[in-house]
Amino acid sequence: MGGISLFRGRTASRSRLVLRLGDMGDIDRTWLFIAAGLAFFLILTIRNRKKRIPETKVYSRRIEGFQVVAFLHPKVSQACLADHGVQFGKGFRRKEGPSLPHDERCRCRTSAFSYTSNEAFHGALRKFRDPDVSIERLPAQESKALLDAMRAENGAHPPETVEQYLERSGLSQFSPDSRSSVEAFLRERFEFLRTTPAAAPA
């Protein structure tokens, strides 16, 4: 009888020990689930912050300023031609624009612009406004070509004949629809440069 009681006592002790170990395993698994949940929440929070930073810090800022727009006419000065496209404003190296008008023939104006940082990064600030031109309905590409031809006069005296001047100005590059108007413009420009010493480059 004594042996049976001792065996039963040992069996009961082993059962209680197994139950206690099982309870500890449940506790460990519970903490493991809690730790995994916290880690997953932390990863999601970090990823969401990384997604929000570019939207608030990069794309919200705007670049604003002003640009000089020249008006091309046969008696325009080289100062007007040279200042076309000049940009200035608070966020630029040049804070103030040129004093307008340049002279009594100047018809330049300033034009405001505003770009996002993304637009500026993709070259918006390098796309200058088209000059205003006294020739009606002159396409933008040809108005730029006329501006370049007139800017090239700087540092060079007018040639002896108007035909040479037309050739030097690249009259042939203009479309047939615009060529006659551009030719009349350049002929008047030639006479102005030839008869106005102050207008010709030194």
pLDDT at 181: 97
pLDDT at 94: 92
95-102 long-range contacts (CB < 8 A, ≥24 apart) are 97/66, 97/68, 98/68, 100/68, 102/77
Interatomic CA distance for residues 67 and 28, integer angstroms: 70
pLDDT at 150: 95
Dihedral of the CA atoms 53, 59, 65, 70 (nearest 10)? 150
pLDDT at 112: 93
Burial 29-50 (b: 16+ CB within 10 A, else e): eeeeeeeeeeeeeeeeeeeeee
User: What's the one-letter identity of residue 185?
Assistant: F
Instruction: Look up residue 126 and give its DSSP letter.
Output: G
* Burial class of residue 160 in the structure, from the number of CB atoms within 10 Å of its CB (0-12 exposed, 13-18 middle, 19+ buried): exposed
pLDDT digits (tens, 9 = 90+) for 35-50: 777 777 778 777 766 5
- pTM of structure: 0.65
Q: Which two tokens stand for residue 154?
A: 């700087």
Beta bridge partners of 87: 67
Beta bridge partners of 113: 65
pLDDT at 8: 53
pLDDT at 172: 95
Interatomic CA distance for residues 111 and 87, integer angstroms: 9
Which residues of the chain carry a pLDDT beneath 70? 1-29, 31-33, 48-60, 124-125, 155, 197-202
